[in-house]
Every structure is written in structure tokens, then in C-alpha cells.
Structure 1
Amino acid sequence: MTNNRLVQKKQIAVYARTLFDAAYAEQKLESVLNVRVRLQELCRALRSDSQIAQTIQDSALSDAQKMQLVASIFDSTPADTLLKDVLGVMAQRGELALCPAVQQAFEQLIVSELKLCVVSVTSAVALDDHLRELITNKVEADLCMRVVLDERVDRSLLGGIILSAQGKCIDASVKSRLEIYRDQLKRA
């Protein structure tokens, strides 16, 4: 079992490194961040619908059919072409289950190679330039590294923001505060 884990770990590292190096050679930071987003989307899709992964890895399909199925998931952007090629190989080898680990290794390469932290910022409304600059400066000072914001709007938050980076989350949303108050009132 140890050898299998070591082999898997090496395969994950190779997939992540291949994606990172090819993306960085393409358009530097922009391409790396695009691959990051698309890889996250794919991992979410595979988690939410296990039938996708099962279909792609079906042993009754030829390698060409597997590559065609993987290709149908993506558009024709450079990030998608790159992912299509790597994921096609993973599908042929029956290794799509490694996608979340490849995504995590890819994230670690962004931090270690680019000295960059991607911070997810979810807010009820789109950030303006001033708030974007304040958040960036604060997080850069706290983490002592360059930061890129990955912004998302979630109207269900009512107000406030949620920041997440490197496995840590700061929830300063109105919705979470209301839930805390509701729980306190229930206990009182």
C-alpha cells in the first residue's frame, strides 16, 4: 500500500507540475489563474455528479472515446485545451479520482513557485476598487506575500464578506452573524 501511495503522490505531482508549467509558459500568471479556476470547476462537477467520472473512465470506451468525452466538457480556451489534454491522460489511466489532489498540488505550486496567495472573496455585491485595494493590502500584510483576489458575488449573504485562503476562512457576513444571534437566542 505504501508503494501505491508513493506512486500516486508522484503521479499527482507530475500532473500538477505539467499543468502549472504549461500554463505559466502560455501567458504567465493569467493562464495559471485560469487553469486554477477551471480545475476547481471540474473538481466540483466530478464531486457533484459521480456519473461523469464513471462514464469517462468506463473500460468499455476506447482511449479516443475517453479523450472525446473529456474534450466535450471544455471550451477552446488555452486553459481548457491544457486541462483537456492532462485530464484525457488521467481518464485513459483511470485516475480521474486524483483530480482533487491534483488541484491541491496545483494550488501549492502557485504559492511556492509564484510566491502568490489566491484569496477567495465572497460578498453580497461586487467589490469597488477602494475596497478591493483595502482587502488586498490587509491580506498581503497578514500573509507576507503577494495576493490575488478571486471575487465572487453571493446575494444570499445580505452584506459583509467571506475571505478564504490556504484552508482558512474568515466569515464576516451579515448572514453568519444573524445565524450566530439566532443560535444564542435559542439557547437563552
Structure 2
Amino acid sequence: MAEIVSERYALSLYEVAKEEKKTAELLEELEAVTQVFADNPDLMKVLKTPSIQFSEKKDTLQNVFGGRIDPYLLNFLMLITEKRRIGLLPEMTEAYKQQYYFEEGICEVRATTAAPMSAELTEKLKAKMCSVTGKKVVLKTKVDPSILGGIVVKVDNKQIDTSVKTRLQELAQQLTQTIA
């Protein structure tokens, strides 16, 4: 149920952004606003508290975001606060992003390495993923020393894992089966 509600609100915002030719800008601002709420959980609590009047919540939103974000996005935040849906903002942001990526032919690729990748290697991976997916690629990188080496790449619902950690686990499993 919450997923359906989130998608409807997100798609409504997306349609307005599309009419105004601001889809990319609103995505960026929406992600930033969602991060503000993640970094300041008390702000979300205030907006979700039923005993606080909507006028006070509206003033809070105006004070925090007024003049800093697009007026359409500010109005959207006020609407979902008034409708008591502000808690679904992260899901709405994700639904908006998925719609934007779909319409723009963008694919999100997540790459995890044991050490930071050089700019050259990052560009090579991005180019390779563009040719594999046939889409524009947004590459998100993450460092996780526990994988020891290699790379784990996630594209859509697929994962390519060439990490040393996984290879060692596979080797250990093969040895266990050979001995048993």
C-alpha cells in the first residue's frame, strides 16, 4: 500500500517537473532534501507529530527549505506533510528517480572495491557498463576493505562478483566438499 502511495505522489511530482522541464534539477533537490531528513531525524519527527498544527509544520518547512529549493518541491513537501505522508519521502524519492532514469535511458551501476578506484579505472568501468547495458550509466562507487580485492558490480538485479573474498569462500567450499 505504501509503495503504491509513494509512487503516485512521486509520479505526480515528476509530471509537474517534466512540464516545467526541471526533472533533473528536482531529482537533485529531492535527493538533497531526503538526505537532510536522514541527517536530522528530529525534523522528520516534528513533521510527523499529529499534535503539532499544520501551520507550524508549514512554517518549519518554509524556514528550513524556503528559498533554498524549487517552489514546486517546497509545495510538494507541504502537501505530503499536510496529507501525513512525509514519512514516505525516501520511497517517493526512489520512485521519482526510477521514473527519471527510465525516461532518460539511465542505468545505475554500483561498484564496490577494496580500495578507491582511480579516475581512469572509474571511467573505463563506466564506459564498459555503457556498452554492456546500452544506456547512460550513473556509477556509484563504494569502498569495502572486507572484499580484499577485485570488484563487485551490481546492475539492475544482476551482480558480478570477482572479489577475492568470494573466490576464497568458493575455494574453501570446494575443499570442504573434496574432503567430506
TM range (shorter): 0.5 to 0.7
Aligned to 1:58: 49
Tell me if structure 1 keeps the 8 A contact 2:153–2:161: yes
Q: Tell me which of 10, 13, 26 is aligned to 1:12.
A: 10
Is 1:144 aligned to residue 134 of structure 2?
yes
Structure 2 residues not aligned, in runs of 5+: none
Tell me if structure 1 keeps the 8 A contact 2:3–2:91: no
Tell me if structure 1 keeps the 8 A contact 2:30–2:73: no
Is 1:129 aligned to residue 123 of structure 2?
no
Q: Distance in 2 between matches of 1:5 and 1:157?
A: 33
Change (3 A) 1:67 1:23: farther
Aligned to 2:108: 118
Change (3 A) 1:88 1:140: same
After superposition, the CA RMSD in angstroms is 4.2
Change (3 A) 1:37 1:101: closer
Which moves more between the two structures, 96-105 or 137-146? 96-105
- TM-score, reference length from structure 2: 0.67
1:60 deviation in Å? 0.8
1:100 deviation in Å? 4.4
Counterpart AA for 2:119: D
Q: Tell me which of 71, 74, 90 is aligned to 2:80.
A: 90
Change (3 A) 1:87 1:120: farther
Q: Distance in 1 between matches of 2:167 and 2:77?
A: 41
Structure 1 residues not aligned, in runs of 5+: none
1:94 deviation in Å? 0.8
Which moves more between the two structures, 178-187 or 94-103? 178-187
Aligned to 2:28: 34
Q: Distance in 1 between matches of 2:115 and 2:20?
A: 31
Counterpart AA for 1:157: I
Tell me if structure 2 keeps the 8 A contact 1:124–1:153: yes
Change (3 A) 1:125 1:174: same
Across the two proteins, how many residue pairs are aligned to each other?
Answer: 177
Tell me if structure 1 keeps the 8 A contact 2:6–2:95: no
Tell me if structure 2 keeps the 8 A contact 1:119–1:150: yes
- TM-score, reference length from structure 1: 0.64
Q: Which protein is bigger by CA-based radius of gyration?
A: 2
Change (3 A) 1:160 1:66: farther
Change (3 A) 1:105 1:170: same
Aligned to 1:104: 94
Change (3 A) 1:36 1:8: closer
